[in-house]
Structure 1
């Protein structure tokens, strides 16, 4: 019997503005995001990839269509129930880290559990901390850590509550290549060893090459898909999606 997807969308649309100013950011997107898989969402600027992630992650409301997270239909949920679902079922990793500057690494990692009034699973906490190599830094505040270390704290925070799915929005966008590789190796490991489900928006072909599957968006629609990608294949698909330059007119 096939497993229920960690998240799914059915005929998802998102429209901003009205009349002549109307922008259709998502135009009928249907997709299943499978458990234990690492999926990237890529596309040109303005293709709808961040809008899709925000609708899937219950951070934005679609104009029409359905989103289901871990078997729960989001439409019709009250704000309190949506907040609970985001806290208990979803992990987030953002480009800007979003750590609390006055808290230590340990306190930042445990913050979602503290807010939920849940006690951490000590064994799982230790597993996650050791997987990201942060044990020597647990007493440090964000200002005392490098960008790569801060993003690894954010990754650990996203995983410590054992969410059904983790959404990562340009997680390597503020990092150098060495730190980017560290973060991507950890995200890959969390899928392979911890059976985590991760969906990542990225523009970086090197980061996307760590995933199992890439969804390519253009003009609010999924227009291509690539499984078991490598960097060169990603670059080639992205080149195809770029609008062709208008040739110069003869004078």
Structure 2
């Protein structure tokens, strides 16, 4: 395991989050990111000037109360949504400078995605779903790496099955393998264990942790589960569209205590 660290630099009322052990450019980073929906009385500020770095080879979890901007941040970082202002970089490539074709290529070639709803193609087998991004790109499958990924997620005997023949946990393992098989710069996981039972969740989180430890994969995961966040190297906490805290080497207990402080603050505001 690489030793990771971080520090929090106060910026306005939010926190600019960077790493103190950054070797080379980060896998992804954002500068003064804002996202505003609507206007006038109906205006909602989902992100209010967020700056953050995601270190290569590190597992980061993003947590916060409902409506804090977690998914909005991930969608902007993953080129699935466009920020109102600010910059997003994948490596040294700034996303707003790219046209739609180049953005599609970035998503296809350099990013991996794992969603709560699995997002598998029902008419394809597990193997076809895993290799789908490479097939679309016209890229040859590295059979040795494919075998490594399949063995890691334990799907060797399920490759010919279609999604409706697999359990929820098995479907999510297919989605994890699909994200990893193209060896992306960074994988974005949005509540990847949200639809799974505790055993399947543990298997998925163990796989994600192993992919960081053994393969040097970079993972950014949005989650509401302190137990899931404890698998990460660090946890970033969002509230009201701003980073407000960072935790290195988290435990489920420490994360839960931090989240309780959000609940107490919210209750105080309501009262």
Report the equivalent of 1:200: 221
Misfit runs of 4+, over 4 Å: 246-249
CA distance in 1 between counterparts of 2:202 and 2:63 reads 18
Report the equivalent of 1:91: 112
Match among 79, 99, 102 for residue 123 of structure 2: 102
CA distance in 2 between counterparts of 1:246 and 1:73 reads 40
Question: What 5-or-longer segments of structure 2 have no aligned partner?
Answer: 1-21
CA 1:8/1:140 → structure 2, altered by over 3 Å: closer, same or farther?
same
Does residue 48 (structure 1) correspond to residue 69 (structure 2)? The answer is: yes
CA distance in 1 between counterparts of 2:186 and 2:231 reads 17
CA distance in 2 between counterparts of 1:21 and 1:89 reads 36
With structure 1 as the length reference, what TM-score do the two structures score? 0.97
CA distance in 1 between counterparts of 2:31 and 2:153 reads 35
Does residue 127 (structure 1) correspond to residue 148 (structure 2)? The answer is: yes
CA offsets per residue over residues 34-91 of structure 1, 9 Å max, x none?
A: 0000000000000000000000000000000000002110012100000000000000
CA offsets per residue over residues 77-127 of structure 1, 9 Å max, x none?
A: 100000000000000000000001111000000000000000111110000
| SS class of match (2:124) | coil
With structure 2 as the length reference, what TM-score do the two structures score? 0.90
CA distance in 1 between counterparts of 2:189 and 2:269 reads 38
Question: What 5-or-longer segments of structure 1 have no aligned partner?
Answer: none
CA distance in 2 between counterparts of 1:17 and 1:108 reads 37
The answer on whether the counterparts of 1:11 and 1:29 sit within 8 Å (CA) in structure 2 is: yes
Report the equivalent of 1:215: 236
CA 1:244/1:21 → structure 2, altered by over 3 Å: closer, same or farther?
closer
Corresponding residue pairs, total: 249
Does residue 61 (structure 1) correspond to residue 82 (structure 2)? The answer is: yes
CA distance in 2 between counterparts of 1:98 and 1:74 reads 24
CA distance in 1 between counterparts of 2:87 and 2:51 reads 9
CA distance in 1 between counterparts of 2:36 and 2:72 reads 10
Match among 246, 255, 268 for residue 234 of structure 1: 255
Report the equivalent of 1:16: 37
Q: CA deviation at 1:247?
A: 9.8
Give runs of aligned pairs for residues 168-187 of structure 1, distance below 5 A: 168-187=189-208
Q: CA deviation at 1:2?
A: 2.9
CA distance in 1 between counterparts of 2:270 and 2:23 reads 53
The answer on whether the counterparts of 1:70 and 1:89 sit within 8 Å (CA) in structure 2 is: no
CA distance in 1 between counterparts of 2:192 and 2:267 reads 30
Q: CA deviation at 1:241?
A: 1.4
CA distance in 2 between counterparts of 1:189 and 1:109 reads 18
